[in-house]
A and B are shown apart, each in its own frame.
Chain A
């Protein structure tokens, strides 16, 4: 398992998860996705909510696999990259998430109004896709964490 190498590099820590933790993470995914669809708030904030949903989905898969990414520079990107090893996500979805990670940083910290309609639509689509992929992967690989 390749994530074991990441532990050697000090990028991840081994830590078992629990039914309770996974339920909590899945509810963050669900809540963030719901928030992302609220038309009344700005596109920037909706985009961030959708990105958070995707990130929480990736974190769910990582935690269910028994790893945690400590908060350090680059841990978002690492969490995104881990999707390749956890749910075997496609290179395309990982690349999209990385691009959107940059956008999310810009929209949160640098400039207002950077998110376009298409970006928001695409981000919500990816987050929903990840939510469903992670859920079905949990059912198959870790049913004990999905009661």
Chain B
């Protein structure tokens, strides 16, 4: 897996367009202004603006002026809307799907994140969605919730649930798997790298925190 290869989503959409699509299709009933989207993606306003104009031109999104603000929203009347939504969800939008699925449990979760090939953007059609959850939740309820969205995800989810206590113990005992996960790329759905390290009793100075961009 060390050879550089483009992720499916990047090949299809490119990074910024993919990000725009994921946000707009992921929250289809909301409208956004350019700076809001740019901030969300950590991209430049100019680059986001260009993508929005292209997408509006072909009718995938709508553009509405309100006062001196321009709002963009996904166009759910476009004939390809449902196909696009499904494609975006399966590629760039999966994180939104999983986050929404776990949302009702969020109060009892310290951190939930995707790791492995999907997080590294090296996924292929066979890749599982590797998900780790640290908190006071039952594996059973997580599996039940995920079972409902596996169709949307288009790939099986592989969740691992740790209590804060077990997570801390495993980190302290030098568990190889957890070390690899902690040093690898993670996409946080709930909580943050800092919170996770706090729960795991890992001092920030010891290992450099890897914040997602």
Contact = CB atoms under 8 A, between A and B. Distances in A.
Contacts of B159: 99
Contacts of B158: 99, 102-103, 106
Interface in A80-98: 92, 95-96, 98
A126 to B, nearest CB: 10
A7 interface: no
A44 to B, nearest CB: 9
Interface in A57-113: 92, 95-96, 98-99, 102-103, 106, 111-113
B132 to A, nearest CB: 9
Interface in B158-181: 158-163, 166, 170, 175-178, 180
A86 to B, nearest CB: 21
Contacts of B138: 118
A102 B176 contact: no
Contact of A119 (B139, B147, B156, B175): B139
Contact of A113 (B143, B157, B175): B175
A100 B85 CA distance: 29
B140 interface: yes
Give the interface size bracket for B toward A. 20 to 34
Interface residues of A, number: 17
Contacts of A103: 158
Contact of A114 (B143, B147, B160): B160
A117 interface: yes
A122 interface: yes
A141 interface: no
B122 interface: no
A83 B105 CA distance: 31
B128 interface: yes
A116 interface: yes
Given A99-B143, A122-B140, A111 B176 contact: yes
A113 B177 contact: yes
Given A98-B156, A118-B139, A118-B161, A113 B144 contact: no
Interface of A: 92, 95-96, 98-99, 102-103, 106, 111-114, 116-119, 122
Interface of B: 128, 138-140, 143-144, 147, 156-163, 166, 170, 175-178, 180
Given A116-B160, A116-B162, 15 more contacts: A96-B143, A99-B143, A102-B156, A111-B176, A111-B177, A111-B180, A112-B176, A113-B170, A113-B176, A113-B177, A114-B177, A117-B162, A117-B163, A117-B166, A118-B139
